[in-house]
A and B are shown apart, each in its own frame.
Chain A
Amino acid sequence: MLPWVEKYRPKSLDEIVNQEEVVSSLKNILQTKAVPHMLFAGPPGVGKTATAHAFARDLFGPNYIENGYFLEINASDERGIQTIREKVKMFARQIPMGEYSFKILFLDESDQLTDDAQHAFRRVMEQFSVTCRFILAANYSNRIIEPIQSRCAVFRFKPLSKIHVIQYLKRIADNEGLEVDDQAYEVIYDFSEGDMRKAINILQACASVSKRIEEKTVYEVMGYVSRGEVRRILELALSGKFTDARDEVRRLLYVQGIMPSDLVSAIYRELFYIDLDEDDKLELLDLLGEVDYRISEGATPEVQLMAFLARLAAKRKRA
């Protein structure tokens, strides 16, 4: 059995939902077979990776990977430019055997590359553009250096709307013989924040409890997945237990592996509801914005979050 995110991954461009403009441009490209370098930009879980695979499959046929036409590298796992250069070069410089004169290299999470690595990558792109086309995926195109962007056709992926996510989930539910309450769909969508991968994961986890899925099933899953830790951290800091809050942050970051940006977002959401004077909330929101920005600049998330929690700990609970 496959995990559902894999089982229900779109296999061809026709199955991609809610990205009509992108899909129609890509189909044009397929017809002319003049494939440019491309940059797929958009939030997580909207189909960037799936689209890259679907495009390659539609272009090269179902054995696009086995036949050596397509290589996927995740920049988040291979930050060392040395590895990238070697791997990329090895793949890109060989002329493919068969009817196509070029291959496709897909670099996922390319905004994770450092500036230096991006500059090196840019040169590789130029050097091998005859035998290899590059598709880069990124959450934020502004973190990709200008010279790379200007060499790419940029495709913007839209966030998925509620209707599209729920439609997709319904298709899966029918196929798997599930009975899902409307309210449950709504809550799944809320938790997913438009991230289809997350939505499908929640649904599959719910299905492991029961074939009949209610709102409370969804809460049971989400209670397990994130056990209200963020709220607890804020409460600990606010009640003067700074070091406990600190230890909890370390657990989330280093053991659970929560991504810092997700942790910041979760704090952002909770901040509106904690027991603080409005003035203090505003000050802390401002500081959180600063923390968020510093992390994106490469600062250590743990340290920046501690500075935030220490500030929170210096505040008084609302009388």
Chain B
Amino acid sequence: MTELWVEKYRPKRVAEVVGNRESVETFVKWMKQWELGRPPEKRAVLLYGPAGVGKTSLVLAYGREHGYDVVEVNASDWRDEARVKAVVGESSLQATLEGSTKKIILVDEVDGIAGKEDAGGIAALSRIINETRVPLVLVANNPWDPKLAPIREKCLMLEFRRLKKTEVVKRLREIAEMEGIKVSDAVLEKLAERSEGDLRSAINDFQAIAGGRKVVDERALEALGSRNRVREIFDALRMVFNAKSVRAARAALEGLEVDLDMVYTWILDNAPEQIPDPADLAEAFEALARADLILARVNRKQEWRLMRYAIPVMTGGVALARKHKPSGFVKFTFPPRIRFLQATSAERELRRSIAQKIATRLHLSTAKALSQMLPYISFIMVNDGGMGEALARYFEFTPSEISYLKGGKAEEAKEAGARRRAVRRKKS
């Protein structure tokens, strides 16, 4: 078994920790005070934030770089006050002797000990913070549990946010280079999107789809969560369209191992058949459009925290809009959107190739070449053999591209032109 990349590529120095610069720097300053023999006013620090964003890695990297022994205590190691004292208490009360190794105590998953069975665990930890003579670092995903209140006020609180997509991609790219793996930006971006700012899961996914190969392409992505997709989607859709509350609608997607974009498309394309009343449908589409906007903000501004609104808005919005149901059962269908894109892929590919040739010669983007040049060139090729041939030579179109461009129906165009002229006349 090869080494896990998350371990292999854990940062060795503080500078290598990805993202969250502000909290990282504050942590370093806090440690510096210990280093100088002037323990800070707050003897413990609480690093909090979602999983896989570098909280533990920061502490380990610091320890390694500055010669500290990091004594790790995991929440699962302790159940009550006695154990807390046994594990943390002793090391924390030992003054660091001249020449002996320096220590950092790292208590992971602090929110995990807030439960019932750990009666006294929090109180003990709170007392230890008062007395500790070595740096005490607590780590939590959710620090806002009321039971953690006594600890919170004694700790320097440092927030760790989800990493930006670009940060995740950058790190994955570095790993790819060190592993000698050829992989496109698109794949890394997909991995980063999937991870929602959790670098650890992104690295794990990357290692999983790489599976020891030296070239990783988009097909490899399909390996991630593709089991039983269609059946799962049908069940989820039934729940979404029939939900009576926002909560139920949201729950429909829980545990669904399907890409959010994919579920979105299924809902989008089944809505017209499932929602017969036009006013209801307009409501449903407005909700879908608003969910789309939320997702756009997440993507563009890297505002991962907004992610949580997208699913309830899209599922709940559709469910509540559906005040009238079709008479009789209407089955869910495979999205026409996907069929459409499949059916037109050859034509789109051809148009794209034509547009690229136009773009490079006319100082345009491919998008502009496609929409603003191609139709005119096509018109010319349909109408005037000489001028058309000359243009084809200039752009170096292939025979199939030429025959596509000439395929436009001239007669139909004339009629459309005449109709248009009539309409204009009427307007003015």
Contact = CB atoms under 8 A, between A and B. Distances in A.
Contacts of A19: none
Nearest to A72: B363
A246 B387 CA distance: 37
Contact of B371 (A53, A257, A297): A257
B341 interface: yes
Given A223-B418, A224-B408, A304-B289, A204 B341 contact: no
A224 B272 contact: no
A115 B301 CA distance: 8
Given A1-B390, A208-B379, A306-B289, A81 B166 contact: yes
A298 B300 contact: yes
Given A3-B362, A6-B362, A224 B301 contact: no
Interface in B56-81: none
Nearest to A215: B421
**In this complex, which of B299, B372, B383 has the most chain A Cβ atoms within 10 angstroms of its Cβ?**
B372
A310 B393 CA distance: 45
B83 interface: no
A111 to B, nearest CB: 12
A189 to B, nearest CB: 14
Contacts of A225: 375-376, 379
B31 interface: no
**Binding site of B, secondary structure by majority: helix, strand, loop or mixed?**
helix
A49 interface: yes
A243 B293 CA distance: 22
Given A81-B166, A108-B365, A303-B268, A250 B380 contact: no
Contacts of B420: 219, 222-223, 228
**Binding site of A, secondary structure by majority: helix, strand, loop or mixed?**
helix
In which size bucket is the chain B interface?
35 or more
A74 B419 contact: no
B377 A257 contact: no
A147 interface: no
B366 A306 contact: no
B205 interface: no
Nearest to B422: A219
B359 interface: yes
B365 A224 contact: no
Contacts of A256: 370-371
Contact of A115 (B300, B341, B348): B300
B46 to A, nearest CB: 30
A56 to B, nearest CB: 12
Contacts of B135: none
B419 to A, nearest CB: 6
A255 B362 contact: no
B43 interface: no
In which size bucket is the chain A interface?
35 or more
B419 A228 contact: yes
B384 interface: yes
Interface in B263-297: 268, 272, 278-279, 281-282, 284-286, 288-289, 292-293, 296-297
Interface stretch (A93-101, A167-175, A195-203): A195-203
A259 B341 contact: no
A212 to B, nearest CB: 14
B297 A298 contact: yes
A240 B394 CA distance: 46
Interface in A199-253: 201-202, 204-205, 207-209, 215-216, 219-228, 231, 240, 242-243, 246-247, 250-251
Contact of A224 (B285, B387, B413): B413
B367 A294 contact: no
A130 interface: no
A105 to B, nearest CB: 14
A254 interface: yes
Contacts of A208: 379-380, 383-384, 387-388
A282 interface: no
B307 to A, nearest CB: 15
A116 B371 contact: no
A246 B272 contact: yes
B285 A310 contact: yes
Interface string A1-30: 111011000000000000000000000000
B391 interface: yes
Given A80-B185, A115-B301, A298-B299, A310 B281 contact: yes
Contacts of B347: 255
Interface string B238-280: 0000000000000000000000000000001000100000110
Contacts of B391: 1, 3
A6 B371 contact: no
Given A115-B300, A242-B272, A299-B293, A258 B427 contact: no
Contacts of A246: 272
Interface string B342-383: 001001100100010001011111111011111111111011
A205 B380 contact: yes
B394 A1 contact: yes
A77 interface: yes
B367 A259 contact: yes
A172 to B, nearest CB: 14
Contact of A204 (B272, B365, B376, B414): B376
B417 A220 contact: yes
B289 A303 contact: yes
B408 to A, nearest CB: 6
A257 B367 contact: yes
B371 A258 contact: yes
A108 B364 CA distance: 8
Interface of A: 1-3, 5-6, 44, 49, 53, 72, 74-77, 80-82, 108-109, 112, 114-116, 197-198, 201-202, 204-205, 207-209, 215-216, 219-228, 231, 240, 242-243, 246-247, 250-251, 254-259, 262, 273, 291, 294, 297-300, 303-304, 306-307, 310-311, 313-314
Interface of B: 164, 166, 173, 185, 268, 272, 278-279, 281-282, 284-286, 288-289, 292-293, 296-297, 299-302, 336-337, 340-341, 344, 347-348, 351, 355, 359, 361-368, 370-380, 382-384, 387-388, 390-391, 393-394, 408, 410, 412-421, 423-424, 427
12 contacts: A1-B390, A3-B391, A49-B363, A114-B300, A198-B372, A208-B384, A224-B378, A255-B348, A294-B296, A307-B285, A311-B286, A314-B278
